[in-house]
Amino acid sequence: MPRRTKIVATLGPATDGPDVLAALLDAGVDVVRLNFSHGDPGSHRERAARVRALAAEKRRPVAVLGDLQGPKIRIESFAGGAVDLVEGRAFALDAALPADAGNDEVVGVAYPDLPRDVAPGAELLLDDGAIELVVERVTGTRIDCRVRTGGRLGDRKGLNLRGGGLSAGGLGDKDAADIRLAAELEVDFLAVSFPRSATDLEEARGLLHAAGGRARLVAKIERAEAVADLEAVIGAADAVMVARGDLGVEIGDAELPAVQKRIISQAREMNRPVITATQMMESMVDSPRPTRAEVLDVANAVLDGTDAVMLSAESAVGAYPVQAVAAMARICAGAEREQAAPRSAAHVETHFRRTDEAIAMATVYTATHMHADAIVALTDSGTTALLMSRQDVPVPIYALTAYPETRRFLALCRGVYPVDFEPSAIEGPTPIREAIARLREMGAVREGQRVLVTKGDFTGPGGTNAMKIVTV
């Protein structure tokens, strides 16, 4: 069976070289990420256009994900370059200090409300948690701290508050501009960084729709507040990302593994595709091979049921972007050969509110117990294929649709293989006959195999109301 777990790769300078992007797609990339925290609108436009041209040439659905910067809180810069902070010594953050006036005693911070958000005893973490400060007192705009864990600190490094609680809003001026760019580029997914609650996602959706965009929203879970309100945040989004960098800093390394598993499980329970991200193969920025720990990290996310795994710096700026994708594809396929962890049976045991949900669950049950060879979903919106993919059905799900945006959405969904298909007639046996012929032409099914076909009356999204058992 083809690889079920999808791969998201971030584009950047390393993917701009001749033939590199084509090689990435050939190695197995399903979704490309445009990181709006870096680059300029011109480079994002050029990369999106190249991806779409190559995907059309290769006749593959490749989705584009735009990733907003969000309210990433950073320190300002140092007058003389990076400084060394020594454990036990004093160090201060001052929201009123000029942006380029930092030294080894104090540095500015690009968040004027920080002094109001912290109190003595609070723990501040800099540079993804590499440096830890403990707040001793707050006087006006100045926060006096003691260095608990020292190290070298450079310009514009990120800042987090242990346990969360910073009042920074979900979207800034740059995000509003990038949302307009995302609408212009017609991205398929828009990732919202650092949402605290469903309200932040609703604000992003409103801005996107006002700009004419139709992308599906991805909630990046990276704040303690989002974890505390997990069901509401996931419910307000169309997909979820386990953004482990800032999340691990806020909640602590020891809590991160269990929280990752909980986010994946909750997202699947709520029928949302989920991406696992951050440092999955970080060593491959400089090395042509992953570490054993990275292999296990990717494999465990696959076994937990993630829809996709993501490469960041590994593909955007690394020395081995194509090798990183190939290694990730190989690890995913290897993990999928093992028995997956038991999933929740909630979808099977609860009342079905919609006809398409009942058909999807009946198809999963039948495919499992009659050892079908494939499922064919004739779909407009992709909902039936998404619902079936939540249940780890042990056969491939081929989603046949005439809508390019549906094919690109399903490119993110685990175990679903989107196919461009429009029947010559919508009545009678024609759609099923032509669908089977299309899959035979692709080599996806062969004579004698048993296939389950789901379809509706072609009345629009959500219309799936029938399952049929077919022998090829």
Q: Which tokens hold the place of 103?
A: 């030294």
The H or E element spanning position 114 is helix 114-117
Q: Is 438 a catalytic residue?
A: no
- Amino acid identity of residue 292, one-letter, is R
Tell me whether residue 33 is one of the annotated catalytic residues.
Answer: yes
- Asked about 74 being catalytic, the answer comes back as yes
- What's the distance, Cα to Cα, between the start and end of the chain in Å? 18
Please report the DSSP string for 283-344 in residue order.
Answer: GGGT-SS--HHHHHHHHHHHHHT-SEEEESHHHHT-S-HHHHHHHHHHHHHHHHTSPPPPPP
Give the active site residue among 278, 363, 383, 384: 278
Spatial contact of 187 and 225, defined as CB atoms under 8 Å apart: no
**DSSP string computed for 354-380:** SHHHHHHHHHHHHHHHTT-SEEEEE-S
Strand arrangement, sheet containing 464-471: 416-420, 397-401, 374-378, 450-456, 464-471
Q: What backbone phi and psi angles, to 5 degrees, belong to 309?
A: -120, 150
Neighbours of 327 (CB within 10 A): 22
Catalytic residue among 33, 216, 244, 407: 33
Angle at 394 between CA 261 and CA 299, to 5 degrees: 35
Question: How far is it, in rounded angstroms, from Cα 444 to Cα 439?
Answer: 5
| Full-model pTM | 0.92
Active-site residue identified among 6, 47, 72, 220:
220
Cα 204 to Cα 44: distance, rounded to the nearest angstrom: 20
Nearest Cα to Cα of residue 117 among 73, 149, 87: 73
State how far the Cα of 382 lies from the Cα of 417, in Å rounded to an integer: 11
CA distance 374 to 385: 12
Q: What pLDDT tens digit does each residue of the chain (472 aa) get?
A: 789 999 999 999 999 988 999 999 999 999 999 999 999 999 999 999 999 999 999 999 999 999 999 988 899 999 999 999 999 999 999 999 999 999 999 999 989 999 999 999 999 999 988 999 999 999 999 999 999 999 999 999 999 999 888 888 778 889 999 999 999 999 999 999 999 999 999 999 999 999 999 999 999 999 999 999 999 999 999 999 999 999 999 999 999 999 999 999 999 999 999 999 999 999 999 999 999 999 999 999 999 999 999 999 999 999 999 999 999 999 999 999 986 544 544 455 566 778 888 999 999 999 999 999 999 999 999 999 999 999 888 899 999 999 999 999 999 999 999 999 999 988 888 999 999 999 999 999 999 999 999 998 756 666 888 999 999 9
Q: How far apart are CA 217 and CA 178, in angstroms?
A: 14
67: helix, strand or coil:
strand
Overall size of the chain counted in residues: 472
CA distance 209 to 214: 7
HSE value, Cβ hemisphere, 13 Å, CA-based, for 337 = 5
Any catalytic annotation for residue 278?
yes
Q: Which amino acid type is present at position 449?
A: Q
Set 50, 52, 60, 74: catalytic member? 74
